[in-house]
């Protein structure tokens, strides 16, 4: 646990008692603060009270009196589409609003670090797609090569739940736009921006606000090194803002669409080969085609970003290459769950938006595509022309018929996962990939994308 610093003896309100909220309450208490908790869910309040926390409705008169700060969980709106009433009340009262990420960066460093030979480092990864895989891959490379590492944030443990890092340790964080948007402190040593595509637009009042939330990771704290995907205009702009000159190697540019040239530091992948260039010269190359845990160009982008971070931390190219080959992949993200009679079954339930689904569709030569769910803002128009590898789509979800009408491939309305998997298994031929890449949220039929991916996996195993 990381005890929160700066609030000793103070009363701090915590809104939302999920993983991050309850973790923040514990760390506040460990740091000598009084945590005053609230969640609209009675079961969440009971869990907090069972740990000895005081729960009180923060909208009641006087509830925010003498409160030094309000700590808000990431799922609770603080500005758009409209502030949560408790957040609005705190802002009106002049109470600082923060989240567990801000508390983490304010509290991580201690006087013990003065005795370390190598100070702990924090790597923070954000972006629309691939940030979970990139963060997990960085953590894997470090641990596989003998560096102590902890993975936390939007993946793994809550940031305040980790152990205090020791001499030479690395903390790898995955951070969502909800987390970077509100944190009052953001000071990673290395910051990573994977890419940007439309997502969570209601929470950020559009694409510009969404990018601004991601950009805060770089603008607020000034990382020592920035690893930036430049295949979208926003990434190219961000790299330009962070670099003092074309040869400034504090910025490592990453691409999977073109060869990067120039006097700076670049890592890119073309036709399955990763290349590292510095000062206009190639210094390393890795064949990614045989790395089973990272199929497709979108995963090659993740590999490039993770490679760049590992190089920044002093690891040699061949050492990194060996670790890439032992990476098992993440559940629900291009996860191979079975192979039978020449057919591969891949669970990419995390492909919850159009852009991530398009990248999954580009990773395999002939696809039986299971898609559908709660459609996101903007529809499916961006997928048109990108479905050339799809032999047929099997559409699930409560609005499966409306979803299917937007597709430019042959489709069958299946509604539920069991039917979709059964039909795909029956019709699949050797060389096909049965791919779950929904291009939609899961909440019309499942609690989350993990539950949807688990259902797919279970249905596949039943059929084989």
Q: Can you give the CATH number for the domain in which 92 is found? A: 3.40.50.720
User: Does residue 221 register a pLDDT over 90?
Assistant: no
Q: What is the average per-residue pLDDT within 372-379? A: 86
Compute the distance between CA of residue 250 and CA of residue 261 in angstroms, rounded to an integer: 16
User: Does residue 199 register a pLDDT over 80?
Assistant: no
User: Does residue 292 register a pLDDT over 90?
Assistant: no
Burial zone of 143 (CB within 10 Å; 0-12 exposed, 13-18 middle, 19+ buried): middle
Banded model confidence at residue 38, pLDDT cuts 50, 70, 90: very high
Alpha helices in 370-434 (DSSP H): 400-405, 417-427
Boundaries of domain holding 389: 335-463
Q: Is residue 143 part of a domain?
A: yes
User: Does residue 127 register a pLDDT over 90?
Assistant: yes
User: Does residue 363 register a pLDDT over 80?
Assistant: yes
CATH code where residue 419 lies: 3.90.190.20
Please check if 264 is assigned to a binding site: no
pTM above 0.95, yes or no: no
Residue 331: what pLDDT?
A: 87
User: Does residue 394 register a pLDDT over 90?
Assistant: yes
Residue 431: what pLDDT?
A: 96
Instruction: Please tell me whether residues 15 and 33 are part of one structural domain.
Output: yes
Instruction: Please tell me whether residues 58 and 197 are part of one structural domain.
Output: no
In which residue are the tokens 């309850």 written?
22
Instruction: Please tell me whether residues 222 and 82 are part of one structural domain.
Output: no
Q: Is residue 1 part of a domain?
A: no
Three-state DSSP at 127 gives: coil
Instruction: Please tell me whether residues 341 and 305 are part of one structural domain.
Output: no
Please check if 131 is assigned to a binding site: yes
Three-state DSSP at 151 gives: strand
Compute the distance between CA of residue 196 and CA of residue 188 in angstroms, rounded to an integer: 20
Please check if 290 is assigned to a binding site: no
Q: Is residue 388 part of a domain?
A: yes
Give the pLDDT confidence of 77-99 residue by residue, as tens digits: 999 999 999 999 999 999 999 99
User: Does residue 337 register a pLDDT over 90?
Assistant: yes
Please check if 128 is assigned to a binding site: yes
Please check if 281 is assigned to a binding site: no
Compute the distance between CA of residue 299 and CA of residue 293 in angstroms, rounded to an integer: 9
Please check if 342 is assigned to a binding site: no
Instruction: Please tell me whether residues 257 and 149 are part of one structural domain.
Output: yes
Please check if 326 is assigned to a binding site: no
**pLDDT, averaged across the chain:** 95
Residue 145: what pLDDT?
A: 96
**What is the DSSP secondary structure assignment for residue 221, as one 8-state letter?**
T
Strands 281-287 and 273-278: antiparallel
Residue 333: what pLDDT?
A: 87
Instruction: Please tell me whether residues 257 and 352 are part of one structural domain.
Output: no
| Share above pLDDT 70 across residues of the chain, in percent, rounded to a whole number | 100
Domain boundary among 54, 74, 98: 98
Residue 224: what pLDDT?
A: 96
Instruction: Please tell me whether residues 40 and 153 are part of one structural domain.
Output: no
Residue 16: what pLDDT?
A: 97
In which residue are the tokens 């430019």 written?
408
C-beta atoms surrounding 416 within 10 Å: 15
Query: How many domains is the chain partitioned into structurally?
Result: 3
């Amino acid at each position: 646990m990381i005890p929160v610093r700066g609030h000793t003896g103070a009363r701090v309100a915590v809104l939302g008692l999920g993983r991050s909220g309850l973790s923040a309450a514990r760390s506040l208490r460990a740091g000598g603060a009084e945590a005053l908790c609230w969640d609209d869910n009675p079961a969440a309040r009971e869990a907090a009270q069972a740990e000895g926390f005081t729960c009180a409705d923060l909208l009641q008169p006087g509830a925010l009196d003498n409160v030094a700060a309000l700590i808000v969980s990431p799922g609770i709106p603080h500005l758009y589409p409209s502030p949560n009433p408790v957040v609005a009340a705190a802002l009106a009262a002049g109470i600082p609003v923060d989240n567990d990420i801000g508390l983490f960066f304010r509290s991580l460093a201690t006087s013990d670090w003065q005795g370390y030979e190598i100070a702990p480092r924090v790597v923070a990864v954000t972006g629309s797609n691939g940030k979970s895989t990139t963060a997990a891959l960085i953590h894997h490379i470090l641990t596989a090569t003998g560096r102590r590492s902890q993975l936390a944030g939007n993946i793994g443990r809550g940031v305040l739940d980790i152990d205090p890092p020791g001499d030479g340790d690395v903390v790898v964080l995955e951070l969502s736009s909800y987390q970077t948007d509100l944190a009052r402190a953001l000071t990673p040593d290395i910051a990573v921006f994977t890419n940007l595509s439309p997502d969570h637009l209601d929470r950020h009042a559009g694409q510009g606000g969404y990018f601004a939330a991601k950009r805060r990771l770089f603008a607020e704290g000034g990382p020592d090194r920035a690893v930036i995907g430049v295949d979208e205009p926003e990434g190219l702009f961000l790299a330009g803002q962070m670099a003092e000159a074309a040869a400034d190697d504090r910025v490592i540019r990453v691409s999977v669409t073109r060869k990067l040239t120039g006097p700076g530091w670049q890592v890119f992948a073309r036709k399955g080969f990763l290349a590292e260039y510095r000062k206009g010269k190639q210094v390393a190359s890795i064949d990614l085609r045989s790395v089973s845990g990272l199929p497709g160009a979108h995963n090659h982008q993740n590999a490039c970003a993770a490679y760049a971070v590992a190089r920044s931390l002093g690891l040699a190219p061949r050492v990194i290459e060996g670790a890439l080959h032992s990476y098992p992949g993440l559940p629900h993200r291009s996860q191979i769950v079975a192979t039978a009679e020449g057919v591969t079954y891949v669970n990419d339930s995390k492909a919850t938006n159009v852009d991530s689904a398009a990248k999954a569709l580009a990773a395999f030569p002939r696809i039986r595509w299971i898609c559908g769910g709660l459609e996101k803002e903007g529809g499916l128009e961006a997928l048109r022309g990108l479905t050339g590898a799809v032999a047929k789509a099997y559409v699930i979800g409560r609005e499966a018929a409306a979803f299917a009408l937007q597709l430019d491939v042959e489709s069958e309305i299946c509604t539920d996962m069991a039917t979709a998997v059964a039909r795909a298994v029956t019709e699949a031929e050797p060389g096909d990939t049965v791919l779950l890449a929904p291009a939609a949220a899961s909440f019309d039929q499942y609690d989350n994308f993990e539950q949807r991916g688990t259902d797919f996996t279970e249905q596949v195993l039943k059929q084989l």
